[in-house]
């Protein structure tokens, strides 16, 4: 038996210099992605990274796999075409909050509802980096930026709520510098279907510290909940706080103790769409923000169903030949 070469993290790096700003959260992500690929035994030749436009979208250039740095917002559409044409490829989309939720919001919604077997990493830095600091669809209201000197006036949207509403079959969130990134990436990799992962990413230059609450060592455990399937929603440095449902089905933060036992808390269930949506609405500072896999269900993939229609049609009607093609419809003879 020939020996299969085992690829290391380095094998997934391209020969191009990485051009992100020093200290950008993207570095941590690209390293974790390479690690994940090495660990899961991915093949370079079968892996394709597709991106749109933006800082995050330079990602494919830094990988030694196949890559397509496409046009602004449309990466999901390119990825869909790739999967339709060759369902065997392992396709990843890298996008950002502007690329994926503003100019490309439409495509994101549709790739998710179709459940194309593509992994989508949305680097959310809540700002436009490449165009130098304008506010984005995830910037908090009142954001002062070059295009909103008096503060932005529109409400931000929550990527995970959008993904769930778009019928995504896998929804997760993680932080660029947190250990849960590796776990979530591995889970996404293993999911068959569209996997949507929001990654809190620090834009060191234009929005530094946007996710301080979820990254600062001293406070982060009080500000996030690490989701585990089947486990109660407990958080806090001391793991002494939890989330309970009120009588009118709203989440509330409670102290664990005599008045509230673990069993009184909400138990995480990755199959529960309503719970996932509720979790996606929990925002800092009112709530700790859930990290990990919110939702994961099995469903058919678009490209598999499409391929199945082709094989079914061939079975029922016989494989099409040119002879058959030309003689479709009303054929008549002229003598």
Partner 1 sequence: MGTGTKQDTKLVTTSEIKSAVVRFAGDSGDGMQLAGTQFTTTSAVIGNDIATLPDYPAEIRAPIGTVAGVSGFQVNFAAESIFTPGDKVNALIAMNPAAFKAHIGDVEPGGVVIVNESEFGKVNLRKAGYEEGYNPLDEGSFDQTYQLVKVPITRLNAEALKDSGLGAKDANRCKNMFALGVVYWLYDRPLDTTIAQIDSFFGKKKNLPEVAKANIASLKSGYYFGETAEVFPVRFHVAKAAIAPGKYRKITGNEAVAMGLVTAAKLAGKDVCYCSYPITPASSVLHALAGMRNFGVKTFQAEDEIAAVCSAIGASFAGQLGVTGTSGPGLALKSEAIGLAVMTELPLIVVNVQRGGPATGLPTKTEQSDLLQAMFGRNGECPVVLVAAQSPGDCFDITIEAVRIALQHRVPVIILTDGYLGNGSEPWRIPDPDSFEKIEVQHPKDPEQFQAYARDENLVRPWALPGTPGLEHRLGGLEKQHLTGNVNYEPANHQLMMEVRKQKVERVAKVIPPIEPYGDASGDLLVLGWGGTHGSIFTAVENARKAGKNVSGAHLRHLNPMPSNLGDLLKNFKRVLIPELNLGQLRLLIRGKFLVDARGLNKVQGRPFLVEEITQAIDLMLDDEFGDREYLRPHDGVVRLEDQDYDFTSIDGRSG
State the residues that interact with ligand SF4 by CB under 6 A.
20-21, 24, 26, 55, 125, 129, 203-206
- The reply to whether 210 sits near partner 1 by the rule CB under 8 A is no
> How many alpha carbons lie under 13 Å from residue 89 in its C-beta half-sphere?
22
Q: Does 34 interact with partner 1 (rule: CB under 8 A)?
A: no
Answer yes or no: are the C-beta atoms of 111 and 140 closer than 8 Å: no
26 binds, among partner 1, ligand SF4, none (CB under 5 to 8 A by kind): ligand SF4
| DSSP code per residue over 261-314 | -GGGSPBP-TT-HHHHHHHHT--TTTSPEEEEEEEE-----HHHHHHHHHHHHH
The least distance separating partner 1 from the CB of residue 292, rounded to whole angstroms, comes to 30
In the 8-state DSSP scheme, what is residue 190? H
Pick what 21 binds: partner 1, ligand SF4, none; C-beta below 5 to 8 Å, kind-dependent: ligand SF4
Which of 23, 40, 84, 132 is in the footprint of partner 1 by CB under 8 A? Answer: 84
**Which distant-in-sequence residues (6+ apart) come within 8 Å of 319 by Cβ?**
none
Binding test (CB under 8 A) with partner 1, winner from 21, 45, 151, 274: 45
Beta bridge partners of 293: 172
Q: How far is the CB of 75 from partner 1 (least distance, A)?
A: 8
Give me the half-sphere count of Cα atoms (radius 13 Å) on the Cβ side of residue 29.
32
Distance CA 124, CA 145 (A): 17
Total site size for partner 1, rule CB under 8 A: 64
- Please report whether residue 326 would count as binding partner 1 according to CB under 8 A: yes
Q: 45 phi and psi, to 5 degrees? A: -70, -20
- For 259, other C-beta atoms within 10 Å of its C-beta total 8
| Residue 82 sits in the site that holds partner 1 (CB under 8 A) | yes
Length of the chain: 335
102 binds partner 1 (CB under 8 A): no
110 binds, among partner 1, ligand SF4, none (CB under 5 to 8 A by kind): partner 1
Report the residue number, 117 or 201, with the smaller CB distance to ligand SF4: 201
**Residue closer to ligand SF4 (CB basis): 26 or 289:** 26
Interface contacts to partner 1, rule CB under 8 A: 14, 16, 43-46, 48, 50, 53, 60-61, 63-71, 74, 76-86, 88-89, 106-107, 109-110, 306, 309-310, 312-314, 316-335
């Amino acid at each position: 038996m020939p020996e299969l070469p085992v690829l290391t993290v380095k094998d997934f790096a391209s020969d191009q210099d990485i051009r992100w700003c020093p200290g950008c959260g993207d570095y941590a992500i690209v390293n974790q992605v390479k690690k994940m690929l090495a660990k899961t035994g991915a093949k370079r030749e079968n892996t394709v990274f597709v991106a749109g436009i933006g800082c995050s979208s330079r990602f494919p250039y830094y990988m030694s796999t196949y890559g397509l740095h496409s046009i602004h917002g449309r990466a999901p559409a390119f990825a869909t075409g790739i999967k339709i044409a060759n369902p065997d490829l392992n396709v990843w989309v890298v996008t950002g909050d502007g690329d994926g939720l503003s100019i490309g919001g439409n495509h994101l919604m549709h790739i998710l509802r179709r459940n194309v077997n593509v992994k989508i990493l949305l680097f959310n830095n809540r700002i436009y980096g490449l165009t130098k600091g304008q506010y984005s669809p995830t910037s908090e209201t009142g954001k002062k930026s070059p295009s909103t000197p008096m503060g932005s006036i529109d409400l931000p949207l929550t990527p995970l709520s959008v993904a769930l509403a778009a019928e995504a079959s896998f929804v997760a969130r993680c932080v660029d510098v947190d250990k849960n990134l590796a776990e979530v990436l591995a889970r996404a990799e293993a999911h068959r279907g569209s996997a949507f992962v929001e990654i809190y990413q620090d834009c060191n230059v234009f929005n530094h510290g946007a996710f301080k609450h979820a990254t600062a060592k001293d406070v982060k455990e009080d500000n996030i909940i690490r989701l585990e399937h089947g486990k109660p929603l407990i958080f806090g440095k001391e793991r002494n706080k939890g989330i309970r449902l009120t009588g009118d089905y709203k989440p509330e933060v409670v102290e664990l103790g005599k008045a509230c036992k673990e069993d009184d808390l909400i138990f995480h269930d990755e199959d529960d769409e309503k719970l996932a949506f509720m979790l996606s609405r929990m925002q800092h500072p009112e709530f700790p923000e859930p990290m990990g896999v919110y939702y994961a269900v099995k469903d058919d993939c678009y490209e598999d169903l499409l391929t199945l229609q082709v094989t079914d049609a061939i079975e029922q009607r016989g494989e099409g030949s040119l002879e058959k093609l030309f003689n479709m419809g009303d054929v008549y003879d002229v003598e």
